[in-house]
Structure 1
Amino acid sequence: MTVDVILPCLNEEAALGWVLGRMPDGYRPVVVDNGSTDRSAELARELGAHVVHEPRRGFGAACHAGLLASTADVVCFMDADASLDPRRLPGVAAPVLGGDADLVLGARRPRTAGVWPWHARLGNAALARTLRRRTGVRLHDLGPMRAAARSRLLELGLTDRRFGYPLEMVLRAAAAGWRIAEVDVDYLPRAGRSKVTGTVRGTLRAVADMRRVMAELG
């Protein structure tokens, strides 16, 4: 069975060679170019990825464009910045493919010091704690690497197109009675500077988007 891997991408030319070169057999990369000014889209196409262009800026906009463009029964999401190893995808997708879970999140485990800045880790921990209280699901990370059935994700009716998209997915899935699981994945030094967790401002922006989603979904 082929699994589509949705990779939202904004100026990740430096990372794409490593990421796409480590894609496991049976996992088809769908790179969603979200307005890159470097050669990200061209390089991804040269390396055999299916490339989708999403002009509307926003992490959620890119993720959802990839979801709409994919054709596999099961899809994965992961960042395209080399902070996550594609070779961990089979472990994340296995519970979904085997029918043991409906949504699987990869809980990040840093492999070197300084990979996860304190402000990003603190914000993630606070949100995960709130998420546990809201859903009753024992999660420790919002999991940028994740897997689920494509058709069921579309049925959730996700509307956020910013950084609240991953959180909305978990909240709506929990409300729908999905079986949500978590598996550990390596968290590695990304290529280049992070647009979100690399700065306090970026982290605060992401947290604000997620708090907005929390409030909207009651």
Structure 2
Amino acid sequence: MPQITVIIPAYNEALSIGKVVAGIPRELVQQVIVVDNNSTDSTGQVATQAGATVVWEPRQGYGQACLTGIAHALNQVPPPDIILFMDGDFSDYPEEIPLVLHPLLTQGYDLVIGSRALGQREPGSMTIPQIFGNWLATTLLRSLYNARFTDLGPFRAISTQALCQLNMQDRTYGWTVEMQLKAAQQNIRYTEVPVTYRKRIGVSKISGTVKGVVLAGYKILWTIGKHYRRK
């Protein structure tokens, strides 16, 4: 049985993180790592009580939190064979983890994206700027990298070998698109599966503010362009 670790970057998700951790199928997952990304609420305490390993990361940024979680996971004995990422706001369905893992476990894929675009979305779970931004980014990935994605969703699983090969660097909003464009560049076997998506608990730090939407959109487009120029 492959060793599977779930990494959840979390910033002020005390209202939701316990539900996320409790919903993860532990018959498949050996370890749940919650990276408390400098929260000012009780996110870490709630996650610990729910059974997660909590790692503190004071340097804020989605990518930074993911990198810290990866470093912690790789220091375990044995290290995981597969790492799955999901958000801590309860918008993803933890019970769908087996759906995301299935292509890695049975079909030889190295990267699986849980696509909200292909699945069912609760009305209002994604804002119009989010929907448009996903469409624009995936269209650019297809045009510039011949990468066939429909979403930049955070719910994703990747083999540890492929993840190390990608040499992830982004520490902020460009994390998800960096992984996908590098996978296309390096001919890593990837696919998507439909996932269900609901309204998050609490207010989004990105889509919940105009500043967050603008900064995230700019960083995603900048990341796509930066790697294309290198290509």
TM-score normalised by length of structure 1: 0.95
Q: Higher strand proportion, which one?
A: 1
Pair 1:33 & 2:36 matched: yes
Q: Deviations over 1:28-70 (max 9, x none)?
A: 2110010001111111111110111111110000011111111
Task: Give the number of equivalent residue pairs.
Answer: 218
For 1:167-182, what aligned pairs fall within 5 Å after superposition? 167-182=177-192
Post-superposition shift, 1:158?
Answer: 1.2
Pair 1:16 & 2:24 matched: no
Residue pair 1:115, 1:189 contacting (<8 A) in 2 also: yes
1:95 maps to which residue? 103
Matched residue SS, 2:40 = coil
1:139 maps to which residue? 149
Matched-pair identity in %: 37
Q: Deviations over 1:178-202 (max 9, x none)?
A: 1110101011110001111223331
Post-superposition shift, 1:24?
Answer: 0.6
1:152 maps to which residue? 162
Looking at structure 1, the residues matched to 185 and 205 of structure 2 have their Cα atoms a distance apart, in angstroms, of: 30
Q: Deviations over 1:87-111 (max 9, x none)?
A: 1111111111224211110001343
Looking at structure 2, the residues matched to 35 and 215 of structure 1 have their Cα atoms a distance apart, in angstroms, of: 30
Structure 1 runs, 4 residues or longer, greater than 4 Å off: none
For 1:22-101, what aligned pairs fall within 5 Å after superposition? 22-25=23-26, 26-27=28-29, 28-70=31-73, 71-101=79-109
The answer for unaligned runs of 5 or more in structure 2 is 74-78
TM-score normalised by length of structure 2: 0.90
Post-superposition shift, 1:132?
Answer: 1.4
Computed over aligned residues only, the root mean square deviation of the Cα atoms, in angstroms, reads 1.3
Looking at structure 2, the residues matched to 118 and 125 of structure 1 have their Cα atoms a distance apart, in angstroms, of: 11
Matched residue SS, 1:189 = coil
Q: Give 2:211's match in structure 1, choosing from 188, 198, 201.
A: 201
2:132 maps to which residue? 122
Post-superposition shift, 1:138?
Answer: 2.1
Matched residue SS, 2:195 = strand
Looking at structure 1, the residues matched to 95 and 179 of structure 2 have their Cα atoms a distance apart, in angstroms, of: 23
